[in-house]
Structure 1
Amino acid sequence: MKPDLLIEVCVEGIDGLAAAQAAGADRVELCASLLEGGLTPSVGVIREALAIARIPFHVIIRPRGGDFLYSDLEYRTMLADIRACRELGVAGVVFGCLLPDGRIDEVRMTELTGAARPMAVTCHRAFDMTRDPAEAIEALIRSGVDRVLTSGQRDCAIEGLPTLRRIHDAARSRIRIMACGQLDHANIGRVARESQADELHFAAHRVVSGGMTFRNPHVGMGGTALEREYQLTLTDPDAVRRTIAAARAA
């Protein structure tokens, strides 16, 4: 393992941050709605996170689920959220914008990165939806981004390892590579060794039943399955500890 390898845990909400922090994460990516791949958390969540955090956390800036081609109004929302995070004193933000043809939107990424400073800037897995990862790395470097989160353009990092290594070699230490993609205690060591990534990122979630004793069987919010209305997605601190320990031992 690289001696300075940093491990980030992706969490949903304030309880997730507290759990990951207690379990030994170096940093947290703070999100809402991980069912949609992570959306921007509220200002209230961010304020409470700042009040309890003993480790840095980066806030995802993503106004909706779906693709990464944003309307002008959505883009203005992203700028406003970034400025709010900067004013609150957040350590970093996470975002990504693409063009219709699958290239990085350098104009927007450069403007968003400039608006974020002095916060750290990560391009999230919008990178994995680009048409050419080597081309995308160069675009992010030109945009001034600090790191890129990637599974090697596959669902899981194990499948993406050949591309992860090519991305690492293309970066040539000009941008940090943070590997992700279904990492757990069984595979994180291999990914750390073979990808040569600078940082690792994983989520360790478990779904539990909520505390409601009365449950209306006739209503599902937002078209979700009825049982989902009474389930919570939590960060599992034991799984975080096991996965971090496996990474450190690699």
Structure 2
Amino acid sequence: MTADPSAALSELAADRELLGRTSTAERVAAILRERIAQGSFPPGIRLSEERICGALGVSRNTLREAFRLLTHERLLVHRLNRGTFVRVLTDTDIRDIYRVRRLVECAAVRGLEEPPYDVTEVRAAVSAGEKAAGEGRWQECSTANIRFHQALASLAGSARTDEMMRGVLAELRLAFHIMGDLHRFHEPYVTRNQEIVGALEAGDAASAERLLDAYLQDSLQQLLDAYPQEAAEE
């Protein structure tokens, strides 16, 4: 997968105003995390300290602390005498990510109390994904799909769960990016997302959980079937 570092750096420069006068490593990490999730910095690419510092207007110490935070989240990897790179996931990583997803997302749906459920954010993500898919904007469809799953996890009503899932789903995007063909990976799930939110809107959490569990199993297998060969080609 090819990338345009200049375009990515221009996007970072646009993010500079988000930092304000009290810029911190956490804010820098949040910006870089989002850009990695969006595919601006794809797996395997080396991150230039000098150019990113210039784009965001931060010190090297601040950026290195942000890198450290993202390395702890398994989004980046530091290679001695070579620099910092966006991670390339292994199939073991992918299996573990899906294990966590099933534990958290299915439990969030299972733990819902009496309907009606507030699934406003879930529905918004589904609608955004359908619109993007209908217009052939598969990168945006991928982003909407991630937001759909984040919204499902948020049904648990736990700030700690939300924070953990943001990291898990950002890491998952590394696998999606290396595949290249987002259309092939996401198109089947546009309809399945609709089925899940439809069950929730009907007050049928049990059916929604069964649909979600099967969905995650199928998604994992599809990813593993394609990932090793295409990752090797990368």
Same fold? TM cut 0.5: no
Q: Which structure carries more relative contact order (alpha carbon 8 Å, separation 6+)?
A: 2
Q: TM-score, normalised by structure 2?
A: 0.31
Structure in which a larger fraction of residues adopt helix: 2
**Counting strand residues as a fraction of each chain, which structure ranks higher?**
1
